[in-house]
Structure 1
Amino acid sequence: MVFCHAVRFWHGMRLPHFSANAGIGVLSLVLLRFAAGADSALHALLKHRVAAKDNVSMLLAQPVISAKECKKTAQRDLKKLLKSAPIECQEHLRQFYCQLIEDSQSFNTCANLSDEQGLQYFECIARPIQGQKAARTAFASDCGVDSVASSRKGTKASRKIPWRLDVPGKLRIAFLIVAHRAVKNVQRLLHRIYDSSHVYLIHIDRKSPAIKTELDRFVAGSRLAESVHTFSEVDVTKGSSDLLRISILGLRWLLKLRPTKGEELPWDYFVKLSEFDYPVAPRHALQHYLWLHKGLNFVGLDACSSSTCARHLGTACAGATYSFVSTLRMHKPLSFGMHFARGSEWVALTFDFAKYLILEIDRPFSAMHEIWKDCLLLYQPDEAFFQTAILNSRFCRHHVSMTLHHIPAVLLERQTHGTHDEIGTRSPNVFSREDLASLVDALQPRFFARKFLDVTVEPTSELCRRLDDFNQERELNTGKPTWQGFLHWLEDNFTMWAQLEGLTLGQNWTCPAGAMGESCDEVRIHLLGRLGSGKSAMAPARAGRWSPETWLLQIRGSRDLTVLLSERFAVPMPALQSLVGTSTLGVALLATRVGTGWRGERGEFDGHVSVIPVTSHSARDIHLAIYWGPIVPNADTDIQAAVDWMTPDGTKCGQTKVQLSKESHLSGSPLGVVMPHACARMARPGTWATRTRLQGATGKTSSAEFELREFAVYASFEDLTVVQMQRFFGLQLLHKPEDPQHELV
């Protein structure tokens, strides 16, 4: 479990965070400078500063020591530990110690902070190591050379950010599932989240070969082999770097995949899950949510990211964890300039960040390589690596500090993993009925919950059945479209619209009408219904808040076709352009919608969207829905959105201002901005538009301005052209999705 307790563990003491811009004197730090031939006085000072006995007095005193000398020192400093450790682990412990020496001896200047309890914290500046390429003199974070961040110079936006209109949801997810023993849990999890468009990679603990055999047999028997893959590389010991290594191995494997036909990337998001996770939202809800936040990484940070985190040493051997608390009595030194953080290991990463991370890990002296080496010597580094990496990467402003999981309260008890584990890991409680109630009432979107130990026994099985109610896909609500005359219009224009969309209707479907766009006598449109959010509207994800307006139609010709008619959201073009324009604000505008019948408590439209009758216009029922989110940790939400409303002739008829509220982001709900009275009085058909500008509370804060976002107002549906409708709505042939339920039971 994450070290979210780090500050509490140290009796609530919050230590100042070191900054590259802060003066050492301001932080009241003592500089210790080491050189070859350190005298006995410095040697004694070190012993006092490190609060240790003779065992680590040489750790920072010796500038460079040979491998032979290091092994001798390890034999002395780790004497008691080596005596009690298994024979097969003694060499491993010596190597760990020497790696610590190698990392630490590159520091020649260290700031040493000691709290009232004698806990030692170091932040150090490196020097070149003899015989190696010159190293950085201080840790150089890639966040400072972010191509996005470096483009934001000055206090005004360099240009207006354009929009593109697109149907939400086209996105491929790469899931990594970490399994140890609960094979039935994994099978049920796959059953609930499976979609042939996604890819699933499952790591089974190497000490459980029978579990892998059973799971492989299940995958082959259910014909999921093209989408589901398994591997077993790591013998997992908790508290060590094993779980982190699984994540990196999984990313390396997934990055080797090739894109499917017509796609630029093999996948868009990496989502890490466990055998103890269970979905609490429909598949489409997660897909729509990630699509809406495309370009942002979900990496949760705990409170110590703004203070000083515990940096215990740790390693594992022969199924046991070693924490070195009483042996070395110190935390691992931190390179000056590195922003260290901790948080949950359950992350969701973009393809671009994952690719950058793996490439940089393999590049010596890079920021990510240094962080990787640093974390491998830490206790429970799987809950520190991704947090530290994102804050020091060029993606530091493409980051949301939250997880997609609901995690129950963490147990106070610690579980140690061997006789030499003096720290122990903490785990969340099992999911309970109380968690179900709090999950339903939670504001923040949640797509998975944990911890479900065995989904085949009660009461866990009953809780899973109740959660399955939330997981139902969008149900079909019968009813007529509120667009008067739409079905007749669509019968006349379907063929042209299908050609504009590039739909392949198939050889067996014909429309014998004369010219394209003429009425097709054999085509009849039957409305099957509107896809609603159903029970998921009350579920933890409340999927209706980011799901498009969608109608299911049956096109009856010589061969019937089922078609989805879906609303297009307006999103920045490209997606990261919004992050460029808003990065100094610390928030990003993600998407907008225009519609009627706004229900702010649900964050949904009950009426028309994008194509609006003039009667709704004159009734002042039009709202602009703004989706936004923070892109840096602890972003300032004292940001205002100013929306100009533009008439069809391009004149401004009024302006509406709204404050971005933290609550709206946490709930995933968009902000509703109402059209001014002056504009409602000018109601007339045509192409209207909004122009949005984000600005800070003061004139000194940067602002971001977006180009016009259009919507159509009509008096009669017959006045609308196919091009207008195709601009605001998309047509998609519905291919019945694979239903693995009969295969997976």
Structure 2
Amino acid sequence: MKKPHFPHYLDRKWLLLLLTTSVLFLLLLLTVTLAQPRFSSPSDFAYDQRQLAFLDRDFGDGNDRLGLPKLPRLAYSLTGTKGDGPQLRRLLQALYHPRNYYVLHLDLEASDAERLELAKYVKSEALIERFKNVMVVGKGNLVTYKGPTMIASTLHAVAILLKKSKDWDWFINLSSSDYPLMPQDDILHIFSYLPRDLNFLEHTSNIGWKENQRARPIIIDPGLYHTKKSGVFWAKERRSMPASFKLFMGSEWVVLTKPFLEFCIWGWDNLPRTLLMYYTNFLSSPEGYFHTVVCNHKDYQNTTVNHDLHYLKWDKPPKQNPVALTLEHFDEMVQSGAPFARRFAKDDPVLNKIDNELLRRSGDRFTPGGWCQETSVLHKDKCLVYGNPNVVKPTISSKRLEKLIVKLLDSDNFRLKQCK
């Protein structure tokens, strides 16, 4: 059999060493993540759920008093790379709500100055300082495009949220090129009616061309042992399809429950660890890791909703990349009912239209909600004065999201599209 070929003419001995090293580094990264979450300044960003307990204790859950379901809490991971600091800041402002949690991560390609600037902004906001629900990762992880370091970075964010904030219900991962299509009040309102065990992720076992281009190739992510970003290494040898579990693939953008993610992190049986090792040498692991875990475990395979709650416009076949959304896509985005959309170019005019017409957000400020009490027309910041953070005032967008959710949970769609 021919030796696999790598850029540096690695022989079989070195290939085996790299494969082993990749697994060890990925597991080590996860172990370090669980033990020592890192922030720009622990004194600035360290907190626990007791510091947010006053939301329900002092104000009471607004829904409780009206006989409505208890409002959930959402945990966001917002990620970017070099030059994405301003976009992450804008995304945070568009998504911010006192009930939620946020972890912001600029990868290692971004400079320390960019991370510091982002951390300074978070620290300077009186509202964020009051609720202490935003964390900035101080030491960026190296993330290789299409490599397993992408899923490692996501698991890092999940581990931080599990350790530092105990009371959230759903985890949502977004990049700097994503943007919300409705206020958080709408999402919280509709999600308050949902079972807390539903996992939203686009998935299928009919992987088609991805079998040959994703599952069978063997890749090495240099981001596991290098300090500079580069492309993945490819081996000439290919592997067979697994026999002990079934592969599922889909979108890397997910809305996942806390119990399921606790299972992925703590792994009280071997499935999450086994699949973590398998996906170490898998191209575009975020498109398959969570999907394969959830669909291969009896406790979670009936909790899936086959949608990632994003609006995307794909390029022409083979439809591998979403096109950049512009003003011409605005009406389609709105009518989709999806709470999020991607991919947006930096400062594209359509973002201003979303701010003005959907979020009612002005300038460099937060999206207003029921927790905002500023009524003076002299102030552009509608949340300069805030009241009960547990009161939500849904907009017309909530009706569109409700329509989408009802369609997804309809008996003709829900069970028939679970882990198939």
Distance in 1 (alpha carbons) for counterparts of 2:162 and 2:143: 23
Given the alignment, which residue of 72, 80, 83 partners 1:179? 80
The alignment's TM-score, normalised by the length of structure 2, stands at 0.69
Distance in 2 (alpha carbons) for counterparts of 1:239 and 1:391: 22
Aligned to 1:189: 91
Shift of 1:441: 3.2
User: Which structure has more RCO (C-alpha within 8 Å, separation ≥ 6)?
Assistant: 2
Distance in 2 (alpha carbons) for counterparts of 1:90 and 1:196: 54
Shift of 1:337: 3.7
Distance in 1 (alpha carbons) for counterparts of 2:189 and 2:23: 48
Deviations 1:489-527 (A, max 9, x none): xxxxxxxxxxxxxxxxxxxxxxxxxxxxxxxxxxxxxxx
The total of aligned residue pairs comes to: 332
Unmatched tracts of structure 1, length 5 or more: 1-53, 56-76, 103-164, 260-265, 415-425, 476-530, 547-586, 589-626, 637-745
Check conservation: 1:299, 1:387, Cα contact below 8 A.
Answer: yes
Aligned to 1:324: 234
Given the alignment, which residue of 387, 407, 414 partners 2:291? 387
Distance in 1 (alpha carbons) for counterparts of 2:76 and 2:398: 25
Identical pairs, percent: 18
Aligned to 1:634: 417
Deviations 1:409-438 (A, max 9, x none): 146699xxxxxxxxxxx4311112232122
Check conservation: 2:186, 2:393, Cα contact below 8 A.
Answer: no
Aligned to 2:358: 470
Deviations 1:217-245 (A, max 9, x none): 11111132411101134111102111100
Mapping 1:80-91, distance limit 5 Å:
81-83=7-9
Output the amino acid matched with 2:351.
C
Shift of 1:291: 2.4
Distance 1:370 1:633, change over 3 A: farther
Q: Confirm whether residue 536 of structure 1 aligns to residue 397 of structure 2.
A: yes
Aligned to 1:373: 277
SS in 1 for 2:332: helix
Mapping 1:251-270, distance limit 5 Å:
251-259=158-166, 266-270=167-171
Deviations 1:263-285 (A, max 9, x none): xxx21111111111111012112
Mapping 1:60-209, distance limit 5 Å:
77-78=3-4, 81-83=7-9, 93-97=15-19, 166-168=67-69, 170-180=71-81, 181-209=83-111
Output the amino acid matched with 2:352.
R
SS in 2 for 1:278: strand
Distance in 2 (alpha carbons) for counterparts of 1:438 and 1:271: 23
SS in 2 for 1:200: strand
Check conservation: 1:299, 1:348, Cα contact below 8 A.
Answer: yes
Aligned to 2:220: 315
Distance in 2 (alpha carbons) for counterparts of 1:195 and 1:379: 35
SS in 1 for 2:417: coil
Q: Confirm whether residue 401 of structure 1 aligns to residue 311 of structure 2.
A: no
Distance 1:197 1:632, change over 3 A: same
SS in 2 for 1:452: coil
Given the alignment, which residue of 445, 452, 460 partners 2:344? 452
Distance in 2 (alpha carbons) for counterparts of 1:205 and 1:91: 32
Distance 1:387 1:214, change over 3 A: same
Shift of 1:96: 3.0
Given the alignment, which residue of 121, 126, 133 partners 1:227? 133
Output the amino acid matched with 2:353.
R
The alignment's TM-score, normalised by the length of structure 1, stands at 0.41
Aligned to 2:147: 240
Rg bigger for which structure?
1
Shift of 1:202: 1.1
Mapping 1:416-565, distance limit 5 Å:
426-442=320-336, 445-455=337-347, 460=348, 462-468=349-355, 469-472=357-360, 534-536=395-397, 541=401
Given the alignment, which residue of 334, 341, 353 partners 2:241? 334
Deviations 1:72-116 (A, max 9, x none): xxxxx2456323x8xxx99975523457999xxxxxxxxxxxxxx
Distance in 2 (alpha carbons) for counterparts of 1:337 and 1:307: 21
Deviations 1:16-58 (A, max 9, x none): xxxxxxxxxxxxxxxxxxxxxxxxxxxxxxxxxxxxxx22xxx
Structure with a larger share of its residues in helix: 2
Shift of 1:306: 8.7
Q: What do you get for the CA RMSD once the two structures are aligned?
A: 3.6
Distance in 2 (alpha carbons) for counterparts of 1:463 and 1:101: 42
Shift of 1:303: 6.5
Output the amino acid matched with 1:319.
K
Unmatched tracts of structure 2, length 5 or more: 25-65, 223-227, 361-367, 371-391
Distance in 2 (alpha carbons) for counterparts of 1:471 and 1:287: 14
Structure with a larger share of its residues in strand: 1
Distance in 2 (alpha carbons) for counterparts of 1:403 and 1:182: 23
Distance in 1 (alpha carbons) for counterparts of 2:202 and 2:323: 19
Deviations 1:388-414 (A, max 9, x none): 011012211111011111112146699
Shift of 1:630: 5.4
SS in 1 for 2:218: coil
SS in 2 for 1:81: coil
Output the amino acid matched with 2:261.
A
SS in 1 for 2:171: strand
Output the amino acid matched with 1:334.
M
Output the amino acid matched with 2:78.
I
